Chain A
Amino acid sequence: MLGALRVVAPHLKPIFINRWSAVNPLGRGRAATFAALSEGSSGLRLNDFESGEPKTWIGRVEGLEREPVVARLAEFDCRNNRLAQLGLVQDGFEQAVARTKVRYGAHRIAVLVGTSTSGIHETERAYRGRDPETGAFVVPPRYRHSHNVFSTADFVRSYLELQGPAAAISTACSSSAKVFASAHRLMEAGLADAVVVGGVDSLCLTTLYGFASLELLSREPCRPCDAARNGISIGEAAGYALLERAGAGDGGVALLGYGESADAYHMSSPHPEGEGAYLAMSAALQRAGMAPADVDYINLHGTATPANDRAEDTAVHRIFGASVSCSSTKGWTGHTLGAAGITEAIISGLCLEQGFIPGSLQTRVLDPGLKSRIALAPERRTLRRVLSNSFGFGGNNCSLLFGQPA
């Protein structure tokens, strides 16, 4: 079935992930994330962000209100950059980057950060406090250091004191999956020896009310692949991966393939047959030189909207049939939007290391219309390769294949 694909991608030289770090509604650090996954405890709660409206469930990171960014970068202080910093100090990440910097030099390490809304929460607040007569800001937002989409990539690069290429990637909910593809290209083109990739997206009213306006927000904890699924739960998260050509020598996880595509269908609804998702997954396999049978687990985009889960299932079944276990972890973390790609890449890495397939939390009655093999209960077995899907508004798709290199 892959023979039908027109574009033949060159095979990828594996890229090693020599350090990961995570902060999300399950807690701080990878260990907290894995503990919640293995215990089946969700990070979702009834919306208590700002006024608690709209009525929905959210995945919130505790303590951001009390932990400003470091004094030397005070101008960057906002919820999104606080979350970015909280991610950098987990799991020994900043220390690992410091060691890598000694090896290659600051100008040889690139920074690519995915985000959808950056620090727009600050701008929302500034609009609420405008002068009612003139409409002018009374307390203006710090445009460059909070509002602008590049703010968080700039913050991460400044915090880590790196001088290599940098960019913010903002393709909605695929943003922090696509950072891996761009990182591979930068290394392949000889412009970086290591790349800090990541994703950071924090709670704000724009996404809460925006998804509510599209009637895509669930009033209960989201239920991916459930017959009665009725929308997403929004979460916030930060996560990073330190990518290098050479492994740390401890049998770590590597990026084996990536696939990117567009739906060319609709701005906020997926292609009904998952055509773009199919192209992205196929390209990831092709770049890795792998067959569908080489994949042991698929971490679905699985947002719990009726349309996404149906379209994704169609595409997954077209490639993998019902032979590969799949699940969505959005019932744990919520949909962390621009941070979903990295958060689920981190979860995929944990699954590979621990030999663990999470069941689809919050899913009570599997939608009988779905044909893929969707895991409702956790499984423990050795995994060689895990595929992670991320799809965003604008019909932007990215699939990542992780595993031990052959």
Chain B
Amino acid sequence: MIPLYVQSVGLLGPGLPDWRTGRDILCGERPYQYEAPPQPNPDILSANERRRGAKSVRWAVAVAQEAVAASGLQAADIATVFTSSSGDGETLHCICEALAAPGREVSPTRFHNSVHNAAAGYWSIAAGSRRPSVSLCGYDASFAIGLLEAAVQASVERTPVLLVAYDLPYPQPLHSVRTISEPLAVALLLAPEPGANALACWQIAPAQRAARTALPAGLAGTYASNPVAQCLPLLAALAGGTQERVRIDYLDDRQLVVEPVPWS
């Protein structure tokens, strides 16, 4: 696979309101401080779509919008890879609750929000993008699976690809069987050619398991239970401009190795 250029980033989580702040925290210029989870309301969504879309849609679209705005590219021209372990947990909870009640009345809006590609659908409408879009799941490996698909797509199709990864806590009782303590969403715009403000160049490859790169110390306590947190060692490398190789967990027996490549 060819090396890929990281063109821009979007980031959202408690105490991580955007990539600019996240970058300062990750490179040690300011301390991380936990804050109550933000309530994103991205203005790229029309009022109607904002009303109809579930919470995870607003999180995913918010980071997508941030990354695209910083990329110098048009939203309509970008293929997308969305990845999430959970999709929208609240929507699935409400549907299962309705199906357990007499009458079994499922809300039609909830049902169309229940598809795993709901966030991608809302994004494509908001962005006016008819470019290819795929939605993936890989349980705890969801971030790595999305990163690999986005990288392979950018490399083979020779096109910029926006990766959007997001996972939010489930409501009870699903929280008791899948504990994600805090929400986190990230977007990375990967391109086969360097744009004007490219942040890094990465060579990405699957490999056998070895010691993985640790989550950034100040953030591990808050985010370790969220599958999207696998992005944090990569973001720390981006923030610090380091040339160190990063290993993140992929499937049971595999990891992804991300090797920064010098470019001029």
Q: For the complex, what is the distance from the CA of A302 to the CA of B132, rounded to whole Å?
A: 21
- Does B215 lie at the interface of the complex (its beta carbon under 8 Å from any beta carbon of A)? no
Q: Which partner residue on chain B sits nearest A148 by CB separation?
A: B139
B130/A264 in contact, CB under 8 A:
yes
Across the interface, which residues of B come within 8 angstroms of A266, CB to CB? 125
A165: B residues at CB distance < 8 A: 148, 206, 251, 254
Q: Is B92 an interface residue (CB 8 A)?
A: yes
Asked whether, in the complex, the Cβ of A172 is within 8 Å of the Cβ of B95, the reply is no
- Find the residue from A116, A150, A261 having the highest chain B CB count within 10 A: A150
Contact A163 B254, beta carbon cutoff 8 Å: yes
**A185 near B156: Cβ-Cβ < 8 Å:** yes
In B25-43, the 8 Å CB interface with A consists of none
Q: CB distance B206 to A191 under 8 Å?
A: yes
Mark contacts of A194-228 with chain B using CB atoms, 8 A cut-off: 1 yes-contact digit, 0 otherwise: 00000000000110011111100000000000000
Residues of chain A lying within 8 A (CB to CB) of residue B226: none
Knowing A127-B96, A185-B153, the reply to whether A167 touches B120 (Cβ < 8 A) is no
List residues of chain A with CB within 8 A of the CB of B105.
Answer: 209, 213
Chain A positions within 8 Å of B73 at CB level? none
- Contacts A171-B117, A262-B124 given; does A189 touch B156 at CB 8 Å: yes
Q: Mark A264-277, 1 if CB is under 8 A from B, else 0.
A: 11111000000110
| Contact status B134-A394, CB under 8 Å | no
Contact of B100 among A128, A140, A178 (CB under 8 A): A128
Whether A209 contacts B104 by the Cβ 8 Å rule is yes
Within 8 Å CB of B152, what residues of A? Answer: 182, 185-186, 189, 191
CA distance A10 to B137 in the complex (A): 28
Chain B, residues 81-116, CB within 8 Å of chain A (1/0): the string is 000010100001001111110001111100111111
Taking a contact as CB atoms under 8 Å apart, the answer to whether B134 and A267 are in contact is no
Least CB distance, B180 to chain A, in whole angstroms: 11
Q: Give the size category of B's interface with A.
A: 35 or more
Q: Quote the shortest CB–CB distance from A78 to chain B (angstroms).
A: 14
User: A163–B252 Cα gap in the complex (Å)?
Assistant: 9
Chain A's closest residue to B97 (CB) is A127
Contact check, A263 vs B124: say whether CB atoms are below 8 A apart.
yes
A149–B87 CB distance below 8 A: yes
A169 an interface residue at 8 Å Cβ cutoff?
Answer: yes
Chain B positions within 8 Å of A157 at CB level = 251
Complex Cα spacing A380 to B47, Å: 53
Task: Let me know if B213 is at the binding interface, CB within 8 A.
Answer: no
A150 to B142, CA, bound (A): 9
A93 to B27, CA, bound (A): 51
- Check A392 against B117 for contact (C-beta < 8 Å): yes
Contact A169 B100 (CB under 8 A): no
Q: Which of B100, B111, B121, B158 contacts A127 (CB 8 A)?
A: B100
A-B contact count (CB 8 A): 211
Q: CA–CA, A113 to B78, complex, Å?
A: 25
Best-buried of B114, B136, B176 by chain A (most CB within 10 Å): B136
Chain B 130-144 interface residues, beta-carbon cutoff 8 Å to A: 130-139, 141-142
Measured between beta carbons, the chain A residues less than 8 angstroms from B173 are: 130, 135-137, 140
Q: A residues within 8 A CB of B174?
A: 123, 143
Residues of A contacting B122 in the complex (Cβ-Cβ under 8 angstroms): 267, 394
Question: Is B261 close to A, CB under 8 A?
Answer: no
Within 8 Å by CB of A167, from B117, B149, B158, lies: B149
In the complex, which residues of chain A have a beta carbon less than 8 angstroms from the beta carbon of B149?
167, 182, 185
* Interchain CB contact (< 8 A) of A116 among B100, B115, B145, B254: B115
B133 touches A262 (CB 8 A): yes
**B118:A140 contact, CB within 8 angstroms:** no
Residues on the A chain within 8 Å of B139, using CB: 144, 148, 150-151, 154
Tell me which residues across on chain B come within 8 A of A171, comparing CB atoms: 115-117, 120, 133-135
Write out the residue numbers on chain A whose beta carbons fall within 8 Å of the beta carbon of B21: none
Are A394 and B104 within 8 A (Cβ)?
no
A37 within 8 A of B: no
Does the CB pair B172–A135 fall under 8 Å? yes
Instruction: State whether A396 touches B120 (Cβ < 8 A).
Output: yes
Say how far A91's CB is from chain B's closest CB, in angstroms.
27
The verdict on B178 contacting chain A, using a C-beta distance below 8 Å, is yes
Given A10-B158, A261-B131, A120 and B92 contact (CB-CB distance below 8 Å): yes
**Other-chain contact of A170, B106, B132, B136 (Cβ < 8 Å):** B136
Cβ-based interface call for A358 (8 A):
no
Give complex CA distance A189, B122 in Å.
30
In the assembled complex, the CB of B138 is this many whole angstroms from the nearest CB of chain A, namely 5
Nearest-CB distance from B47 to chain A (Å)? 15
Check A206/B172 contact, CB under 8 A, given A150-B137, A168-B138, A213-B105.
no
Which of A136, A172, A267 touches B172 (beta carbons < 8 Å)? Answer: A136
**B112 touches which of A135, A143, A170, A214 (Cβ 8 Å):** A214
- Shortest 10 CB-CB distances between A and B: which pairs? A394-B121, A210-B111, A170-B116, A260-B132, A149-B137, A262-B124, A127-B96, A143-B177, A268-B112, A127-B100
Q: A392-B115, A393-B115 are in contact. List 18 more A-B contacts (CB 8 A).
A: A53-B104, A120-B92, A127-B100, A128-B99, A144-B139, A147-B178, A148-B178, A151-B139, A170-B115, A170-B137, A171-B116, A210-B111, A214-B112, A264-B127, A393-B112, A394-B122, A396-B117, A396-B120
Q: Which chain A residues have a beta carbon within 8 Å of chain B's beta carbons?
A: 7, 9-10, 53, 116, 120, 123-124, 127-128, 130, 135-137, 140-144, 147-151, 153-154, 157, 163, 165-172, 178, 181-182, 184-186, 188-191, 205-206, 209-214, 260-268, 275-276, 279, 392-396
